[in-house]
Amino acid sequence: MLSYLLFSVTIGGIYALLSLALNLAWGGAGLVNLGLAGFFGIGAYATALATGAGAPLAIGLVVAMAAGVLAGLAITGLTLRLRDDYLAIVTLGFGEIVRLVALNERWLTNGADGMSGILAPGKAALGVAGFNQAWAAGVTLLVILVWLLLRRLDQSPFGRALRAVREDQELAGFAGKPVLRLKYQAFALSAAVAALAGALYAHFQSYISPDHFQPLITIYIFLAVTAGGIGRPVGAVLGAYCVVAFLEATRFLAAVVPGIEAVQVAALREALVGLSLLLVLHLRPKGILPERIPPAPKAPS
Amino acid sequence: MVETALPADRASAPLPGNAGGAPAVLKVAAVTRRFFGVAALDGVGFAVPAGRITGLIGPNGAGKSTLLNVVSGLLRPDAGQVRFEGDDVTGMKPHRLAARGLTRTFQIARGFPKMSVFQHLMLYGPRQPGERLLQAPMWSRAARDREAELAERALAIAGRLRLSPLLDAPVTALSGGQKKLVEIGRTLMAEPRMILLDEPMAGVNPSLGAEIAAHLQALNAEGISLCLVEHDMALIRQLCHHVVVMAEGRTLVTGSFDEVVENAEVQEAYLGRRH
């Protein structure tokens, strides 16, 4: 039971990183990124390939984030004229392309069989229980670090300029803000954080396959950010842990609801996820911890 | 003295005496812009004297708004040139123009819905190093000092425009007139040398209109050149040293208010030809 909890904490941390990534692009700059699973996958495969070639964990994580940045810059460049629904559709397509490439380019990714035996640092030395503890602590620490960094960005003049781009990018230009640079930076940084989450996932599971990067993950993360409070990093983190807790809790449905089979449990879980999103949007449309307007300093009297 | 139908290549010629011989801060020469074959601007050219208030008038469809969009960098002209303080700024992006000191306001007050009045003012502050991604998380000394400077200016401007009680209100909570004041305030934060105003009085009640007019005159007295598109002729007469009349995408007449209203071509453009 303890290892199951630790496993959930680690997965919750990975979801929290993804939520922070989405909150930066979507909550910060208004760039709807439905391709989050794609960046997640790019990070996972990048570090699997790098560490598979003999690189240590740290290099693997750096390679994953660099790959995320490059993919983020490329997607921003390709979608400069798109916003809202159109950007969402194109990025959704991008996420699927990443998954299909991973599925079909067998020479690189081993196709549907996935890549196994990915470097799992500490597993041999610490044993399974120690490994789970160390990763739960390490991932949680990273979540705190990334959260502090992104919160600081959010409250800085950079975050303010980004918000202006989110609300009205044309007007942001007249306010003297370099809209293109801000979009590139926000999206690339967001992609790097998502790729970092993917890399951590790959090392933690030590096995990845295209099935792990289904668009459903993106939907869960959108649910997390919406529930937690879009536009506020701490809301994204809280939302992510809530979603993971919710998803894990519903595994035990079969024991509670009599007379249903395993397949029906799975279907019921999805239905409950949808229902919970509706409930959150109905009861707290701005999320549990909504975006705040920082107060102006008091005039010296 | 009225200069009629200023040809494009003479746009940079010395202005008539009513401009007071002030050098031009903005010169528009032979600017053409077509939308699907229809020329909204058809070789328009004129100069805006520095340190003055210039009115840009003309009947609906004359191309005033398109011209403002071209000058402010929203639209690229198909042909022609825009010079600001002597430099060619044709087709330059709005944020680069803002950095040079050329900003604009909008006919329908626009804002960032989820940002407060104070954030609007701060946003327009130029040269904030904290807007760079690499400096933002560090919150460098330079960025913090600049933020404090901007905050001080923002509070002063809010006081001047009597917006102080509304500093923390989201702009969506403001009345139409208050939005106009915020628009003026945030434009001031940008430290402009020239402001293009698109119908600053549209939809504003007379007493607030008078207040805005007084603010505009005060800004001009500080040396900021203003160019305003406006339909309210009484206001143009009261404020503008110099008037440019546009019709059908071209400059029709330039001169003082009294001169242009006496002009037969202007009367024809507004009222139609007498048969």
Among the partner-chain residues A156, A175, A296, the one whose CB lies closest to the CB of B168 is A296
Question: CA of A166: which chain B residue's CA is closest?
Answer: B112
Query: How far away is chain B from the Cα of A6, in angstroms, using its nearest Cα?
Result: 31
Query: How far away is chain A from the Cα of B45, in angstroms, using its nearest Cα?
Result: 23
pLDDT band with cut points at 50, 70 and 90 for residue A299: low
Instruction: Please tell me the predicted confidence (pLDDT) of residue A261.
Output: 81
Inspect the interface and report whether the beta carbons of B123 and A164 lie closer than 8 Å.
yes
Instruction: Please tell me the predicted confidence (pLDDT) of residue A26.
Output: 94
Between residues A299 and B15, the one the model is more confident about: A299
CA A70 from centre of chain: 17
Mean pLDDT over the full length of chain A: 91
Percent of chain A surpassing pLDDT 70? 99
For B36-63, what is each residue's pLDDT tens digit? 988 999 999 999 999 999 999 988 889 9
pLDDT band with cut points at 50, 70 and 90 for residue A126: confident
pLDDT tops 60 at residue A232? yes
Phi and psi at residue B197, in whole multiples of 5°?
-115, 125
Percent of chain A surpassing pLDDT 90? 71
Instruction: Report yes or no: B7 at the A interface, CB cutoff 8 Å.
Output: no
Instruction: Report yes or no: A285 at the B interface, CB cutoff 8 Å.
Output: no
Strand positions, DSSP E, A103-191: 115-116
Interface mutation vs chain A, best among B107, B123, B163, B174, most A CBs within 10 Å: B123
For B99-111, what is each residue's pLDDT tens digit? 999 999 988 878 8
Instruction: Please tell me the predicted confidence (pLDDT) of residue A124.
Output: 82
Instruction: Please tell me the predicted confidence (pLDDT) of residue A85.
Output: 87
Q: Among the listed ranges A94-108, A150-164, B124-138, which one has the minimum average pLDDT value?
A: B124-138
Instruction: Please tell me the predicted confidence (pLDDT) of residue B273.
Output: 67
What is the pTM assigned to this prediction? 0.89
Instruction: Report yes or no: B164 at the A interface, CB cutoff 8 Å.
Output: yes
| Range A161-173 average pLDDT | 94
Q: Which of residues 68-87 of B touch A (CB under 8 A)?
A: 72-74
Instruction: Please tell me the predicted confidence (pLDDT) of residue B18.
Output: 42
- Please state, in angstroms and rounded to a whole number, the distance separating the CA atoms of residues A147 and A136: 16
For A263-296, what is each residue's pLDDT tens digit? 888 888 888 888 888 888 899 888 888 888 888 8
- Please state, in angstroms and rounded to a whole number, the distance separating the CA atoms of residues B239 and B53: 7
Residues of chain B in contact with residue A156, where contact means CB-CB under 8 angstroms, are: 130-131, 136-137, 139, 143
Query: In one letter, which amino acid is A236?
Result: A
For B240-267, what is each residue's pLDDT tens digit? 999 999 999 999 989 998 888 888 888 8
Instruction: Report yes or no: B23 at the A interface, CB cutoff 8 Å.
Output: no
Inspect the interface and report whether the beta carbons of A174 and B94 lie closer than 8 Å.
yes
- Please state, in angstroms and rounded to a whole number, the distance separating the CA atoms of residues A69 and B204: 48
Instruction: Please tell me the predicted confidence (pLDDT) of residue B5.
Output: 42
CA contacts within 13 A on the Cβ side of A299: 15
Query: How many CB pairs below 8 Å do chains A and B form together?
Result: 112
Instruction: Please tell me the predicted confidence (pLDDT) of residue B4.
Output: 44
- Please state, in angstroms and rounded to a whole number, the distance separating the CA atoms of residues A287 and A289: 6
Inspect the interface and report whether the beta carbons of B190 and A176 lie closer than 8 Å.
yes
Strand positions, DSSP E, chain A: 115-116, 207-208
Tokens of residue A88, six digits? 């969402």
Question: CA of A165: which chain B residue's CA is closest?
Answer: B112
Name residue, tokens 């900021």: B224
Q: Among the listed ranges B102-116, B130-144, B223-237, which one has the minimum average pLDDT value?
A: B130-144
Instruction: Report yes or no: A1 at the B interface, CB cutoff 8 Å.
Output: no
For A29-86, what is each residue's pLDDT tens digit? 999 999 999 999 999 999 999 999 999 999 999 999 999 999 999 999 999 888 788 9
Residue B83's alpha-carbon distances to A12, A274, B22, B188, in angstroms, are: 57, 57, 16, 22
Between residues B22 and B46, the one the model is more confident about: B46
Q: Which own/partner contact pairs does A76-83 have at CB distance under 8 Å and 24+ positions apart?
A: A76/A31, A76/A183, A76/A184, A76/A187, A76/A188, A77/A184, A80/A180, A80/A183, A83/A30, A83/A31, A83/A169
Query: How far away is chain B from the Cα of A157, in angstroms, using its nearest Cα?
Result: 5
Inspect the interface and report whether the beta carbons of A152 and B74 lie closer than 8 Å.
no
Question: CA of A153: which chain B residue's CA is closest?
Answer: B137
Reported as type and span, the H/E element at residue B212 is helix B206-221
CA A168 from centre of chain: 25
Residues of chain B in contact with residue A293, where contact means CB-CB under 8 angstroms, are: 114-116, 119, 168, 170
Mean pLDDT over the full length of chain B: 87
Reported as type and span, the H/E element at residue B176 is helix B176-189
Instruction: Please tell me the predicted confidence (pLDDT) of residue A10.
Output: 96
